[in-house]
Amino acid sequence: MITVRETRSIEYLKGIGVSDNVLAVIDSAFAMAPQTVDTRAWWPTEVSEGVLGLNIGWLIDSLRRRGGHADGITADAIAFVGRVLSKTPLAIVLIPHVAPLDGNPFNNDEKFNEQLLQALGGPTARLAQIPCGFNAAQLKYIISQCRSLIAARTHATIAAFSTAVPTLSIAYSVKAKGAQHRRQQIPAGGGHAVPRRHRLDQVRRHPCPLRPHRRGERE
C-alpha cells in the first residue's frame, strides 16, 4: 500500500499506472495539536495591524543559487521586507521550519534567517526572528499567531492552513499545489482553533495591501 498526502502526487501515480494500492491520507501535520509557547521576549512590539510570517529560508535561497543567482534570494528578500515595512503597518517575523539538530548550516532555515536579519540591520519593533530550538508543534502555535503567512516549507504552510491563517505558498515543488487542494477538502473544523492575536474577520475588514490603493483600481 502507498499512502499519499496530496492530490497532485496521486494524479502522478495514476499517470504511470499505479492506482490500485494508493490510499489518500491527511498529512499528520494537519492533525498535530499546536503547543503554546511564550513569545513575548522576541515578538514584534509594534503590531497594530498584525504580523506577517515570512518563511523563505535556506531551500529557496539554494534553488536560486543553483539557478545562477550568486546572491541567492537575499537581495530580493531584503527588498520585499523593506517594501512591506515602508508601505504597510504590518510587522514581520522570520520563521524557520527546518534546522539540523547539530547546527549544520546545510538546509538550515535558522542560519539563513540570522544572516537575513543581520543584512536588514537587526531586529526592530516591527521586525523579529523566531529564536532557535522550537519543535514543530511549537512552531505551529507561533504561525497560528500571525495575521498571514508567506512560506516555502510545506509543513509551515500546513501549520497555517490548519489554524486558519491566510497563506501564500512559495512553490518549489508540485506538492504545494496538491497541498493547497487537499486543504480545501478538509471539512470545516478539521483543523485546530487557536486563540489568535488577529481575527480573520478583522483581516477581511482591514486588508493591508503591499502598496497603497490607487484610484480606479479594484479592491
Q: Flag whether 181 is in a domain.
A: no
* Residue whose C-alpha is closest to residue 89's, from 130, 43, 126, 144: 126
3-class state of residue 162 by DSSP? coil
Residues 151/95, Cβ–Cβ less than 8 Å: yes
Between CA 207 and CA 202 the distance in angstroms is 8
Specify the CATH number for the domain of residue 161: 3.40.50.2000
Compute how many other C-beta atoms are within 10 angstroms of the C-beta atom of residue 108.
Answer: 19
Between CA 91 and CA 3 the distance in angstroms is 39
Q: Flag whether 1 is in a domain.
A: no
Q: What is the pLDDT of residue 159?
A: 92
Q: Flag whether 41 is in a domain.
A: yes
Higher-pLDDT residue of 28, 210: 28
pLDDT tens profile 13-34: 999 999 999 998 877 888 899 9
Q: What is the pLDDT of residue 17?
A: 94
Residues 43/51, Cβ–Cβ less than 8 Å: yes
> What is the amino acid identity at position 36?
T
Q: Flag whether 83 is in a domain.
A: yes
Q: Flag whether 59 is in a domain.
A: yes
Q: Flag whether 20 is in a domain.
A: no
Q: Flag whether 102 is in a domain.
A: yes
Q: What is the pLDDT of residue 191?
A: 52
Q: Flag whether 79 is in a domain.
A: yes
Q: Which residues contact 59 (CB under 8 A, 6 or more apart)?
A: 98, 107, 109, 152, 153, 172
pLDDT tens profile 50-109: 999 999 888 888 888 888 888 888 889 999 999 999 999 999 999 998 888 888 888 899
Q: What is the pLDDT of residue 161?
A: 87
In this predicted structure, the answer to whether residue 43 has a pLDDT above a threshold of 50 is yes
What Rg value do the Cα atoms of the chain yield, rounded? 18
- 4 to each of 16, 41, 152, 175, how far by Cα in Å? 15, 39, 20, 11
To the nearest 10 degrees (0 to 180), the angle between helices 109-119 and 57-66 is 80
Decide: pTM greater than 0.85.
no
pLDDT tens profile 112-153: 999 999 999 999 999 999 999 999 999 999 999 999 999 988
Domain coverage including residue 68: 33-173
User: Number of folded domains in the chain?
Assistant: 1
Residues 165/144, Cβ–Cβ less than 8 Å: yes
pLDDT tens profile 148-206: 999 988 889 989 988 989 999 886 555 545 455 555 545 444 455 554 554 444 444 44
